[in-house]
Structure formats: C-alpha cells, structure tokens
C-alpha cells in the first residue's frame, strides 16, 4: 500500500448508551481511492464526523501523516487537508458559484472590501484544476445537484485538500453525472489527493475503489483490495446473509383496475401519458432523470397540475389539484427527495409516523387516544425494523436510511389504494432494501396497487410485474411482463429513447 495519509485506530463512540462505533480501524493511503461500506446505521457517517472533528471519539487514536493528532477539532481537520462533502453539500444557495468556491478566501481576507476579481480568479483556478467549467456568476440554487457537487469539490481544493470524503455523493445524481464525478475523482487522485467514498450502490464501489473497508453494527469486518471482492462476497461481509430475489408474479385477468390515467399532459414536462393500474400490481416506471416520470407522479398526487387529461380512481373521475384531493382518493406518494420533503426532523420518530393518520387515531370525542397512538408507533417501528431504542427519539438521531423508513411508514399508515414510490430505496443499504422490497410486494399481494419509480433497473425488474419506460416526457415503451426482459435490454431501450423532444423536465 502507498504511504498512509490517515490512520484511525481502535475508535469507539457511544451516543446515549448506543455504541455507534466499537474499536474501529481505518487507514487510507496517499492518493488512494478508498470506499467505506456498511448497512444503514453501521456507523459510516459517525466515523466520517470523527475524522472531520465534528464528533469526539470516546477512545482511540488518529494519525495524520504518521503524527498523532489528539483531540482533533473541525479547524485542525481542515488544516490537515481533510475536506468532507456532506450529502447536503453545505453550500450557500443564494450566493454565486464563484462566491461559494472562494468562500474561505473571502472569510480570511481581513479586509472589509471584497475584491471580486480575486474571488473569481480563485474560483476559476480551482475549477481549472479539475478541468471543469461552470458559470461562475450563476447562483448555486440554480445549479443541478451534480454541478453543486463540482462547486463543493472546487471549494475543497481551494483549501489544499489532501483527503476528500464524500458521504453518499451519488444517491441523487444520474448515471451520466456519476460517470462524470468519477472522472473528476480520477483527476483528484492524479494530484495525489486521497478519496474516501461512501455509497450503497455496490456497482459504484467496484467501479472506483482500490480498497474497501466494511463495517457492520459499528464493528470493522475487514478491509480488502477491491480486486479480491465480488458483489456476493461484499454483500455477505456487509450483512452476514445472501439474498436472492424472485420475480413478482401477478395475474392480471382476475382483478379490477384501480387507477386509470388518460392523455395526461403538461407543456414542457410530459405528454399523452395513458396507463391503467390494477389492484395488486406493481407497475415500474423508469427512464432517465428528465424523462418526466417524477413530474407525472407529482401530477397524480396534486403537486403539479396537468394542462389536460383524465385521472380516474376506482371508476370515479377526479380533479386532483392538491395533495389532500389525492389522499382522499386513496393515493399516497413517497417523494424522491424525502429528507427535505418528508420529515419533521426535530419531532419524534413516532409523531412523524402517525402524522398522516391523526384523524383516524382521534376517537369520537376528538381526544387522541394515547394507547392507540403508542401501539401504532411501536408497530411501525417494528414492522420496518427502524433502528432506534424508542419511537420517542427525534427523527434526526436516526441514520439516513432509517429516516427514510420513517417516511415510508408514515405513508403506509394511511393504507392507500394506490401507492406511488419515487426511488423507494435511495440511500438504503442492501439488506434493508431487500426487506423494503419484501414489504412492498407483501402490500401488493394484499391488494395495494403500486407504482415504483426507479433508476435502478435491477430493482424495477426484480419487483415489478409490468414496466413503462419514459423518455422526454412520453411513454416510450411498455414491457408487459418484466420477468421476460434482461437489465441490458432495458438499458438499451432507455439509452436510445427517441420520442418527441419536450424540453428539459426534472
């Protein structure tokens, strides 16, 4: 291995009696691309925050360039060349790209007058270092997530980064953008910068990692050269289990149509969308981001009023202009961006779950029956295996993947007739993903009609009986039996999507 840049030894960290990390070691070579993998709640983000000086370990040592660093805090960590790019990217949305990149120079120059020329020059230099080009005067809020990441990486470079840590950087960007990010990572590596990369997408891990450290339940399982691992072995090391999915079978002849969509259109977003959804069906919708699939889903949930078309639920034509209309008709929607749209982060886990069924839990005299409430909260925590000591804990004490389960529970609690899941397992580890897929199939078997929107073709093919492929706002193709096609065939269809161009939709 190359000379070590960072070495952590015997790191232990406890939160209110819960051992998040138990004697964990991690070493990262200079210029090495290292992946850290483990299930939700296994301690990845906690370990990263310890490296960044955000959390203090209870015990253990940290060496940077071979020198022990006692009581590392955020400032020392940055001085040592450690830069962490968190999932929310920590940028200032209403400032320009240049200002965000050169932020630290602006803060450090003690003068009261900011020299804009210098700010732009700094920002330009950082972008050039990684061969990128972004409109420096554009406000960051107007940039795509992928471009925001480039801004965050460039900012890291202005601070002499020697190690850049990316915690789930790829969960919200497209395949093309991931490829692009990997090119940028390769350029960083050429400069001798080390990368610590966290992702639940194991194909990405195999694509870029040189070494992989695996943690499970706060303990290190091992570290391996990536070349010595394959998918099944890595999954086994992460979970202690092997998984095998069976296709979802469904008999269309016997059951009723729950949802009918006819000629749904909205200028610039989607056009002429028509399909039926039966009780017990799991209908997959896939296509590139920008294919109009999320906009269509939002229209079904009253968050994006279409210009034309009809939506019929259980034979009744509906006008859905707000989420309440959709919920009353029995339609639930799990948003793609659930960490910002789905949770009251400071409220308890339990309160977040029952928020959608408060009416039901109110008894006739309009008093909240505490016993029933607690039972409902406990049931859902158990059913979705949410990793927490109690439903009373705040949602922000949960790991990312466990927060997602809370949002899922919240919508499942209303027992919808039609459940639209946009990216149901984004950011969810492989074992829990399997559990969530089982839950979704179970709901469908009991008669719920489900629409599953996902980028992950294997996820779609393993779980859906039928698939619609969208491109440029239209349904490009219907696959009536998902068990009869391969992932490669679907990739080809998506790649060659040549319907009428309706302009960019998100």
Footprint on this chain of Mg ion (rule: CB under 5 A): 45, 400
Find the helix or strand (DSSP H, E) in which 112 lies. Answer: none
Q: Is 213 helix (H, G, I), strand (E, B) or coil?
A: strand
- Is residue 296 part of the contact set for ligand ATP (CB under 6 A)? no
Q: Which residue is nearest to Mg ion (CB)?
A: 45
- Is residue 41 part of the contact set for ligand ATP (CB under 6 A)? yes
Look at residues 206, 211, 180 and name the one whose alpha carbon lies nearest to residue 195: 211
- Is residue 53 part of the contact set for ligand ATP (CB under 6 A)? no
Nearer to ligand ATP, 99 or 167 (CB): 167
Nearer to ligand ATP, 36 or 195 (CB): 36
Which one among 24, 32, 35, 42 touches ligand ATP, defined by CB under 6 A?
42
Rounded CA gap, 259 and 241, in Å?
38
Smallest separation, CB 431 to ligand ATP (Å): 11
- Is residue 57 part of the contact set for ligand ATP (CB under 6 A)? no
- Is residue 43 part of the contact set for ligand ATP (CB under 6 A)? yes
Which one among 15, 116, 344, 491 touches ligand ATP, defined by CB under 6 A?
15
Q: Is 131 helix (H, G, I), strand (E, B) or coil?
A: coil
Rounded CA gap, 319 and 310, in Å?
8
Which one among 11, 46, 411, 449 touches ligand ATP, defined by CB under 6 A?
46
302 binds, among Mg ion, ligand ATP, none (CB under 5 to 8 A by kind): none
Smallest separation, CB 238 to ligand ATP (Å): 11
Selected range binding ligand ATP among 4-12, 41-49, 175-183, 269-277, rule: CB under 6 A = 41-49
Nearer to ligand ATP, 43 or 292 (CB): 43
Look at residues 389, 296, 279 and name the one whose alpha carbon lies nearest to residue 336: 296
Contact letters for ligand ATP, residues 413-452 (x by CB under 6 A)? ----------------x-----------------------
Per-position DSSP letters for 266-289, written without gaps between them: ETTTEEEEEEEEETT-EEEEE--T
57 binds, among ligand ATP, Mg ion, none (CB under 5 to 8 A by kind): none
Pairing mode, strands 257-266 and 270-278: antiparallel
Q: Is 144 helix (H, G, I), strand (E, B) or coil?
A: coil
Burial of 143 (C-beta count, 10 Å sphere; 0-12/13-18/19+): buried
Which one among 152, 288, 398, 420 touches ligand ATP, defined by CB under 6 A?
398
Contact 306, 264 (CB under 8 A): yes
The size of the interface with ligand ATP (CB under 6 A), counted in residues, is 20
Contact 205, 36 (CB under 8 A): no
Find the helix or strand (DSSP H, E) in which 92 lies. Answer: none
* Residue 368: other Cβ atoms inside 10 A: 11
Q: Give the binding site for ligand ATP (CB under 6 A).
A: 15-16, 18, 20, 38, 40-46, 387, 397-402, 429
């Amino acid at each position: 291995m190359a000379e070590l840049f960072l070495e952590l030894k015997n790191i232990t960290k406890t939160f209110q009696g819960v051992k998040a990390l138990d004697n964990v070691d991690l070493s990262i070579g200079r210029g090495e691309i290292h992946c850290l993998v483990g299930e939700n709640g296994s301690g990845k983000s906690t370990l990263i925050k310890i490296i960044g000086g955000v959390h203090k370990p209870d015990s253990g040592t940290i060496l940077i360039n071979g020198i022990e660093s006692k009581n590392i805090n955020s400032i020392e960590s940055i001085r040592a060349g450690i830069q962490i790019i968190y999932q929310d990217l920590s940028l200032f949305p209403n400032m320009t790209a240049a200002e965000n990149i050169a932020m630290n120079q602006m803060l450090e120059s003690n003068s009261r007058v900011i020299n804009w020329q210098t700010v732009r020059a700094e920002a330009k230099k950082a972008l050039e270092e990684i061969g990128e080009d972004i409109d420096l005067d554009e406000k960051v809020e107007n940039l795509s997530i992928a471009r925001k990441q480039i801004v965050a990486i460039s900012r890291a470079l202005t601070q002499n980064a020697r190690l850049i840590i990316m915690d789930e950087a790829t969960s919200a960007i497209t395949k093309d953008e991931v490829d692009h990010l990997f090119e940028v990572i390769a350029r960083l590596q050429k400069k001798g910068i080390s990368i610590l990369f966290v992702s639940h997408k194991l194909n990405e891990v195999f694509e870029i990692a040189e070494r992989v450290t695996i943690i499970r339940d706060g303990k290190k399982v091992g570290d391996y050269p990536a070349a010595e691992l394959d998918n099944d072995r890595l999954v086994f090391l992460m979970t202690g289990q092997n998984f095998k999915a069976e296709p979802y079978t469904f008999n269309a002849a016997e059951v009723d149509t729950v949802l009918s969509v006819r000629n749904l259109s909205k200028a610039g977003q989607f056009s002429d969308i028509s399909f039926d959804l039966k009780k017990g069906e799991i209908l997959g919708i896939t296509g590139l981001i920008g294919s109009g699939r999320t906009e269509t889903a939002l229209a079904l949930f009253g968050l994006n009023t279409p210009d034309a078309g009809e939506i019929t639920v259980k034979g009744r034509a509906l006008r859905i202009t707000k989420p309440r209309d959709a919920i009353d008709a029995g339609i639930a929607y799990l948003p793609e961006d659930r960490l910002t749209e789905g949770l009251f982060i400071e409220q308890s886990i339990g309160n977040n779950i029952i928020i959608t069924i408060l009416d039901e839990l109110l008894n006739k005299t309009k008093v909240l029956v505490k016993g029933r409430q607690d039972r409902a909260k406990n049931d859902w925590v158990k059913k979705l295996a949410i990793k927490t000591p109690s439903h009373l804990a705040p949602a922000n004490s949960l790991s990312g993947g466990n927060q997602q389960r809370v949002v899922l529970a919240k919508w499942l609690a209303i027992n919808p007739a039609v459940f639209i899941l946009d990216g149901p397992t984004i950011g969810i580890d492989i074992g829990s993903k399997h559990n969530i897929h089982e839950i979704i199939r179970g709901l469908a078997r009991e008669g719920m009609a489900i629409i599953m929107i996902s980028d992950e073709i294997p996820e779609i093919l393993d779980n859906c009986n039928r698939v619609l492929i969208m491109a440029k706002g239209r349904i490009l193709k219907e696959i009536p039996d998902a068990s009869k096609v391969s992932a490669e065939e679907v990739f080809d269809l998506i790649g060659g999507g040549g319907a009428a161009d309706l302009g960019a939709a998100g």
